[in-house]
Chains A and B, each alone.
Chain A
Amino acid sequence: MPVLRWIRRNLVVIAGLLTLAYMILPNIVVMVFSFNKPNGRFNYAWQRFSLDAWKDPCGVADLCGSLSLSLQIAFWATLGATALGTMIAFALVRYRFRARGAINSLIFLPMAMPEVVMAASLLTLFLNMGAQLGFWTVLIAHIMFCLSFVVTAVKARVMSMDPRLEEAARDLYAGPVQTFLRVTLPIAAPGIAAGAMLAFALSFDDFIITNFNAGSTVTFPMFVWGSAQRGTPVQINVIGTAMFIIAISVVLVGQVIASRRKNNARP
Chain B
Amino acid sequence: MEYFLELFFGGLTRGSIYALIALGYTMVYGIIQLINFAHGEIYMIGAFVALIVAGICTIYGLSGVSILILAGIVAVIYACAYGYTLEKVAYRPLRGAPRLSPLISAIGMSIFLQNYVLLAQTPDFLPFPRLIPDFAFMEPVAHIIGSPELVILITTFVTMILLTLLIKKSRVGKAMRATQQDMDMARLVGVNVDRIISLTFIIGSALAAIGGVLVASYIGQVNFYVGFLAGVKAFTAAVLGGIGSIPGAVIGGLVLGWAESFAAGYISSDYEDVFTFGLLILILILRPAGILGKVTKQKV
Judge: A and B partners, yes or no. Answer: no
Residues in A lying within 8 Å of B, measured CB to CB: none
Residues in B lying within 8 Å of A, measured CB to CB: none
